[in-house]
Amino acid sequence: MGDDLERVLLSEEQLHQRLDEIAAQIDADYEGKDLLLVGVLKGAVMVMADLARRLHSSVQMDWMAVSSYGSGTKSSGVVRILKDLDADLTGRHVLIVEDIIDSGLTLSWLLSNLRSRGPATVEIATMLRKPEASKVDVDVRYVGFDIPNEFVVGYGLDYAEKYRNLPFVGTLAPHVYGA
C-alpha cells in the first residue's frame, strides 16, 4: 500500500491522542447517563472501536449502513437505509459516530431521521471534518480534526474499498486515480 500514498496527514499517534481527549470529554458530558453509540458503516468502524474502548462507562453500540443516491463521488443528501438500527431510540442518549463529514448531507439526513425516533438527545462525534461541512447547519459536538478539502484514505476511509485498514490518515498518489 505504501507506494500508493502521497503523504500522511494524521499519524496513528495523533489520532489516538485526540481520541483520548474526546473520550474524556464524552465521559464527563454523559456521566451517570446510559449512552448509545451509533456507528455509520463502514467508515466509522475504526473510530468506533478506538473511541468506545477509551470510555470509562459501559455504553451500548449499534450500527447503521446508509447509501447516498449521489452520482459519482458527491453525496446527494438523498439517503437510503441499507441496514437499520436494532435499538429502539425512545428516551435514549444517542451519539452518532462518524469517520468524516464532507458535504454534511449524509449527517444532516441521519440526524433528522434519528431525531424522529424519540431519543432524549442526539449528538455527533466525527474524527474528521472538511470545510464544506460548514455550509450545512449541523451542530457537531465532538470533532477530531478539521482537515483541508482533499480526498483522504485510511483509518476506516476507503478508495474503491481499499486502504480502510491503514492505521493513519493520508492522501493518495496521483497514479492511483489513473492520473
Ligand X SMILES: O=P(O)(O)OC[C@H]1O[C@H](OP(=O)(O)OP(=O)(O)O)[C@H](O)[C@@H]1O
Ligand Y SMILES: Nc1nc2[nH]cnc2c(=O)[nH]1
Catalytic residues: 102
Q: Are 100 and 132 in contact, with CB atoms under 8 Å apart?
A: no
List 94, 99, 166, 170, residue binding ligand X (CB under 6 A): 99
CB nearer ligand X, residue 99 or residue 123: 99
153 lies in the binding site for ligand X (CB under 6 A): no
String marking each residue 24-43 x if it binds ligand X according to CB under 6 A: ----------------xxxx
Instruction: Report the nearest approach of ligand Y to the CB of residue 44 (Å).
Output: 11
Instruction: Report the nearest approach of ligand X to the CB of residue 6 (Å).
Output: 19
CB nearer ligand Y, residue 119 or residue 126: 126
Instruction: Report the nearest approach of ligand X to the CB of residue 34 (Å).
Output: 25
DSSP state letters, the chain:
-GGGEEEEEE-HHHHHHHHHHHHHHHHHHTTTS-EEEEEEETTTHHHHHHHHHH-SS--EEEEEEEEE--STTS--S-EEEEE--SS--TT-EEEEEEEEESSSHHHHHHHHHHHTT--SEEEEEEEEE-GGGGGS----SEEEEE--SS-EEBTTB-BTTBSTT-SSEEEE-GGGGT-
Which residue is associated with the grid cell 431510540?
Answer: 89
Size of the site for ligand Y (CB under 6 A): 8
CB nearer ligand X, residue 33 or residue 83: 83
Q: Which one of 9-17, 51-59, 87-95, 156-164 is the stretch in contact with ligand Y (CB under 6 A)?
A: 156-164
Residues that bind ligand X (CB under 6 A): 40-43, 68, 75, 98-107, 158
